[in-house]
Structures are given as C-alpha cells and as structure tokens.
Chain A
Amino acid sequence: MSDDHASSLISAEVRHVEALLESRGLLGAGEIDTRIDEFLAGGTPANGARIVAHAWTDPGFAARLLADANEAIREVGLSMAGGLQEQRLKVVANTAEEHNVVVCTLCSCYPIALLGPSPSWYKSEAYRSRVVRDPRGVLAEFGLELPAATRISVWDASAESRYMVVPRRPAGTDGLTEPELAGLVTRKGLIGTAAV
C-alpha cells in the first residue's frame, strides 16, 4: 500500500467522522477550517525569540522571567492562556556551567504559543526515550558538542507545565538591536538542542 493510498483512506475516515458530528450538531460548518487557520496564524518561534532577546537586553526582565514566566511574558504581549487551558511556564537559562534541554517523555507537551507547532523529532519515541538517558550524546547528534564540564539539565514537560530555554547570548553581539538579536534565536535553541 502506498503512502498516498493510506493517506486517502484515512482522509476519507476523518471526513466521515466530521460529517457525522456535523449532522449531530457537535461541529459547526466551517469550524474545522477556522480552527486550522487560527492555529497556523498563531504561535511561532519568533515569539520565543522575542522573549529571549528582551531577556538578553534587560536584566530586570530576565530575573522576572526566570522567577515567574507566566507573568513576565505578559510584559511583551504574550500569554500561555490562549490554548485549551492555561499552562504553567517555566523558563530556564543556559550559563557557562549549565545547559538546559526540554522534552516531554510521555507525549508531546510543548509551548506552542511561544514556539509554534512542534517538529516531528520532538514527538518521536527516539528523542523522548534517549534525551533523558544520554542527553550529552543526543545533543552531539544535533551538532551541539558541550564541554565535559558543562552540566546538563533535562526538563520533562507535563500536562500542566511547559518549559522554554533562554540560550546564552552569543559573543560579539553587543551592537545589535533587540529585533536583530531575536533573529539569531532558533526553535532548537529554545528547546535546547542548539546553542542559540
């Protein structure tokens, strides 16, 4: 069976369930398309990057962010309350001594509002099983070779809690504006599988 054939079979099954729910009044006409559009227009890693750049340039904000991220991100117009239920957010900052990396070993919990849709590798059994057993080896597979002296903390997200990493500010970026700094921050940097 080709992938296309399998995909068309499941497409038909999904359409069938949608039509059934519409006929029973549990789904409004056009509701699915509206939700998809809203989701795709919603979270993006640019949100997380904006938080990081602000933290790099404003030590007071950085302290508030690490102390109570749910409150602090409201200062930059963001919130963890936009999804199905408000999620607790903890932000952890990398230092010369410690590197942080985020996973959800049980499923795929992820701060979508700040990072956008999650990549498949984050949801894979390979990442979920291995990053807690051998974080240094997994980070090396991502091309991030950390010094042996660097401590690695792995944060396991749950149904109620989400995590985001503040990478270390790269050297030689003193002259950059906040938007330019935000442009340096990647999704993998915010998860912890890249340096920035």
Chain B
Amino acid sequence: MSRINDVGGMSGFPAIIEEPDEPPFHADWEAHVFALNGALIKRGVYNLDEFRDAQERLPVQEYLAASYYERWFAAIRTLLAEKGVATPDELHVPHD
C-alpha cells in the first residue's frame, strides 16, 4: 500500500514553479530544523530511515498542507515523543 508521499505518476498536481536565485533556506527556523535533525541522527536518537518514515506517516491532510520543513519539524517532534525524550506536551510552547 502506498502512502501519500508516493506521488510518482499521480495526476492532478499543478505546473512546476521555479524560484529564481532561491536561497537554501527561506527562514532561519528552516535552517535550524535542518541542523536539529542532523544533530539528533548523529547522536543516535533516531536514524535516517525512522525520520523518513515519521514524515511519510503524517496524517495525509497534514502532510499535504505542510511546507517541506514543517514536515521535518513534525517528524522530529513525533520521534522525540516516541523515543521517550519528551512528552508531546513538553515539545510545544506552553499556552496560557
């Protein structure tokens, strides 16, 4: 059974948009998410396959609505909770 990331050959996606002189990251937080993932994999908190899997099993609507690095961040939080590093609540900014 394929998951939502398995889009090869799927119909209905729009024209491809190129961004001239595109920067590597579009915001500082994207660079931080990128580096955070590398640091956690290097430290053995989880591995690269687990990281890919955590993105690919995001709820379908969430996967499609999220930007590239939003998916990364969601996967990081999922794995940190599943690995027992922190509770889901601890991984979110507290709200009054």
Give residues in A with beta carbon < 8 Å to B.
Answer: 7, 10-18, 20-21, 24, 26-27, 31-33, 35-36, 39-40, 84-85, 103, 105-108, 116-117, 119-121, 123-130, 132-133, 138, 141-142, 156, 159
Asked if B19 contacts A120 (CB within 8 A), the reply is yes
* Minimum distance in angstroms from A78 CB to a CB of chain B: 19
How many residues of B are counted as interface, with CB atoms below 8 angstroms from the partner's CB atoms?
52
Residue-wise interface mask of B (37-57) relative to A, using a CB-CB cutoff of 8 A (1 in contact, 0 not)? 011111101001100100110
Asked if B18 contacts A17 (CB within 8 A), the reply is no
List chain A residues, Cβ under 8 A from B7. 105, 125, 128-129
Asked if B39 contacts A126 (CB within 8 A), the reply is no
* Minimum distance in angstroms from B36 CB to a CB of chain A: 6
Q: A27 CA to B41 CA in the complex, in Å?
A: 11
A/B interface sample: 20 pairs, CB < 8 A:
A10-B73, A11-B27, A12-B93, A14-B36, A17-B73, A18-B32, A32-B35, A33-B35, A36-B31, A36-B32, A84-B38, A84-B48, A103-B8, A105-B6, A105-B9, A117-B25, A125-B10, A129-B12, A130-B16, A133-B9
* Minimum distance in angstroms from B66 CB to a CB of chain A: 10
| One of A24, A108, A123 near B85 (C-beta < 8 A) | A24
| One of B8, B39, B43, B91 near A129 (C-beta < 8 A) | B8
Give residues in B with beta carbon < 8 Å to A.
Answer: 5-19, 22, 24-25, 27-29, 31-36, 38-43, 45, 48-49, 52, 55-56, 64, 68, 70, 73, 76-77, 80, 85-86, 90-93
